[in-house]
Amino acid sequence: MAAIEKRSRGDWQELDRKHYLHPFTNHKELHVQRARIITRADGVYIYDADGHKMLDGMSGLWCVNAGYGRQELIDAATRQMQELPYYNSFFQCAHPPAIELASIIREVSPAQFNRVFFAGSGSESNDTIVRMVRTYWDLMGQPERHTIISRNNAYHGSTVAAASLSGMKAMHKQSGLPIPGIVHVDQPYWFGSDQSLTPDEFGLVAARSIETKILELGPEKVAAFIGEPIQGAGGVVVPPDSYWPEVQRICDKYGILLISDEVITGFGRLGKWFGADHFKTRPDFMTFAKGVSSGYLPLGGVMVSDRVADVLIDKGGEFYHGYTYSGHPVACAVAIANIKLIQRDKLVERIRDDIGPYLQKKWATLMDHPLVGDTRMVGLMGAFEIVKTKDPLERFDEKQGVGPMCRDNLIASGLCLRAVGDTIICAPPFVLSHSEADELIETTWKALDLTQKALAE
């Protein structure tokens, strides 16, 4: 028996409009346009209530890395629900799925990580880090070291602390954020700059804005720096090669903790297990979520390095923090099956050596389209920039909505990508085949042509 009764698209849209408040949504607009109702999925394809088939170039929301319909993940959930659907890890309890998952995650993480704290999402995980970072410095006898530096246009989540870490002005404006002790510096977005510097020069300048901020605040007040290896929601901002080594140097120089937010980049997306492996940073914390369970169940967490964990454990007493669903057994069982699947099918290596280079090469050819002013892709995480003219470089007025127009053309043509202003971003499932990659590129061309035609009219 189906768990949810069948209704027509119109009925779903009507019920949706009446009762469902969506995340990050302008409801007034939605009530006119109506929601796109997605009803099923298989492999790399999603289907809406009208049966319209779309290649999911965003892996859901950067998470369904193993693709849809993976029986081993479904079986793992079913078996765990039968055996132990829930128990907590509070009050000196634990259960096999959480313990096993913590030890498996350690195996695929950089060497400094031996401990994991589980949460239900990336946002919760970053809230956990804020508390751990400050507790760490308290225990180190430096309670004034509480300020965390983040970046403009970063996205670290939507809870109060995670939204404060995020560098999105519109979010901050709505609820009196950021909370005290969180400050922001420049992002390493070379294409968005005036391009008077080379990318490497620009990368150094962006990194040194962290040092300037440290000196302005006083190094003895700065607890940590947080960054996504590649900014995702901000528009797949790939930093110049010079950026991360300089950030690492600055963190080392002032003894500041480095937090690598791997919610999107973790578990293989860049062709390495973590973005820290790709950029050769040595973080003290890594945030993860999304890809750990391929999004089949909500799960997030924090990798805590020995530097921090040893202090928290040896000196900290009880850490007054945790979630009912920290280490949820069913989510953990699915994550174990997901990581085993990624290992068995060598999906990380596949991104590094096969489908990654294959799609990157084709993605770069989008530069030949008159509307495309830049392309970039690392592993299976990419973007292109829509421009009005290439030489001299001129962008559209964002109010014209050319990015969203292109996104709508993409969806109508059968490809789900996302628009961040006039930047179109792409993060397909790791199991994308060569022919599906060809389809992704052909559909993108088609949608760009439709957009160009509409602009000409």
Please report, as ranges, the residues that interact with ligand PXG according to CB under 6 A.
Answer: 61, 121-123, 126, 155-157, 228, 232-233, 261, 263-264, 287, 289, 300
Nearer to ligand PXG by C-beta: 61 or 311?
61
Least distance CB 228 / ligand PXG (angstroms): 4
Q: Do the beta carbons of residue 253 and residue 279 sit within 8 Å?
A: no
Kindly write down the DSSP assignment for every residue of 409-430, as one continuous string: HHHHHTEE-EEETTEEEE---T
Nearer to ligand PXG by C-beta: 289 or 431?
289
Point out the residue whose Cβ comes nearest to ligand PXG: 122
Least distance CB 263 / ligand PXG (angstroms): 3
Least distance CB 62 / ligand PXG (angstroms): 6
Sign for the pseudo-dihedral over CA of 191, 383, 122, 340:
negative
Least distance CB 285 / ligand PXG (angstroms): 12
The 10 Å Cβ neighbour count of residue 190 is: 23
Least distance CB 384 / ligand PXG (angstroms): 16
Nearer to ligand PXG by C-beta: 233 or 238?
233
d(CA 88, CA 83): 14
Nearer to ligand PXG by C-beta: 123 or 209?
123
Q: Do the beta carbons of residue 236 and residue 275 sit within 8 Å?
A: no
Nearer to ligand PXG by C-beta: 119 or 205?
119
Nearer to ligand PXG by C-beta: 49 or 230?
230
Which residue bears the tokens 């081993």? 72
Q: Do the beta carbons of residue 80 and residue 333 sit within 8 Å?
A: yes
Cis amide prior to 283 (ω within 30 degrees)? no
Nearer to ligand PXG by C-beta: 124 or 211?
124
Q: Do the beta carbons of residue 258 and residue 293 sit within 8 Å?
A: no
Q: Coil, helix or strand for 441?
A: helix
Least distance CB 45 / ligand PXG (angstroms): 20
Least distance CB 59 / ligand PXG (angstroms): 11
Q: How many residues appear in the chain? A: 457
The 10 Å Cβ neighbour count of residue 422 is: 24
Least distance CB 443 / ligand PXG (angstroms): 20
Nearer to ligand PXG by C-beta: 30 or 61?
61
The residues, ordered by sequence, that sit 6+ positions from 99 with a Cβ below 8 Å of its Cβ are none
Nearest to 427 by CA among 154, 13, 60: 60
